Chain A
């Protein structure tokens, strides 16, 4: 079955928006609470994991990407991949400059 060239304009219902709003508020409360607990190296990791989850919810539902064309989805994925690659390689460079000399 071939992908139709044009897709009908998908209207996301307010119920979905309310659920996402609630999830984002819960995520915010969780990240503030988690920041006061001493988890050592996992504090920033958990904070970023919650932030990434919240951002994904916003992108998929508030920004309608779940219902977007394959072209848009692929482009956003590529942009995200390039972003992670650039940050990852830059940080890898800085971390390995003085490898073993800490």
Chain B
């Protein structure tokens, strides 16, 4: 058994020919596949199955958000006014652009442009970090205003909206205490959803760092692009989650 399933050097840039017998095939073709195409289709299919489990996972959070938004509608409207549309919009631009640079990275790998691939991966890496940086600014503002669900949670912005610039700008009316308390549910869901999204970003950025290192060695530009392609699918999926988070959390209660 010359190849173990977990073999680490399957896409080695150096050895691209058969290394045993006269059974000539690229070194990255594993033995349980008939052809490179079959292997690529199979891994692509498996990646999609994984992404569908991720869809279901985030779907639970989105469903919880929709139900609570219907139950505690006035509190959710007031609480959503605490988010910054310019920051959220800027993050949307960063993430969409990073999806574009990632797609271009896949194209560079497919057309064997090594320096182009490294550049695209680096841009994606930087845009991803930029997204997290802006998210940090948003989170720290929530901590300063005591809008993080906990023992120290403050209802001040909702009981006295005139004392809070964001609430005042949105023209919020003071909420009764029992209604205002439900803003904490909004922020619980806000942190759960954006936090889980940010965790996916952090994992993606870590993998991107690894890929930049490997791409510089020429790993993905010798014909075997599966890893870059499937990582691209993951990155675009994370982008799609944000495409839904942005309107649902920031936008739909503004008018």
Indicate whether A and B interact: yes
Measured CB to CB, the residues of A under 8 A from B are 5-9, 11-14, 17-18, 20-21, 24-25, 28, 31-32, 35-39, 43-44, 47-48, 50-51, 54-55, 58-59, 61-64, 68-69, 71-72, 75-76, 79-80, 82-83, 86-87, 90-91, 94-95
Chain A's nearest CB lies how many Å from the CB of B42? 10
Which single residue of chain A is at the shortest CB-CB distance from B53?
Answer: A79
Partner of A75, one of B40, B52, B63, B85: B52
Residues of A within 8 A of B250 (CB): 35
Residues of A within 8 A of B52 (CB): 75-76, 79
Partner of B38, one of A6, A12, A37: A6
Of B159-167, B211-219, B240-248, the one touching chain A: B240-248
Evaluate whether A44 and B252 lie within 8 angstroms (CB atoms) in the complex, with A21-B97, A72-B45 already known.
yes
Which single residue of chain B is at the shortest CB-CB distance from A86?
Answer: B59
- Can you give 18 contacting A-B residue pairs, CB < 8 Å? A6-B41, A9-B37, A9-B110, A11-B107, A21-B100, A25-B93, A28-B246, A31-B246, A32-B89, A43-B252, A62-B236, A63-B232, A69-B41, A72-B41, A75-B48, A79-B52, A82-B56, A94-B70
Which B89-138 residues sit within 8 Å CB-CB of chain A? 89, 92-93, 96-97, 99-100, 102-104, 107, 110-111
Chain A's nearest CB lies how many Å from the CB of B87? 12
Q: B44: CB under 8 A from chain A?
A: yes
Partner of A7, one of B37, B55, B97, B99: B37
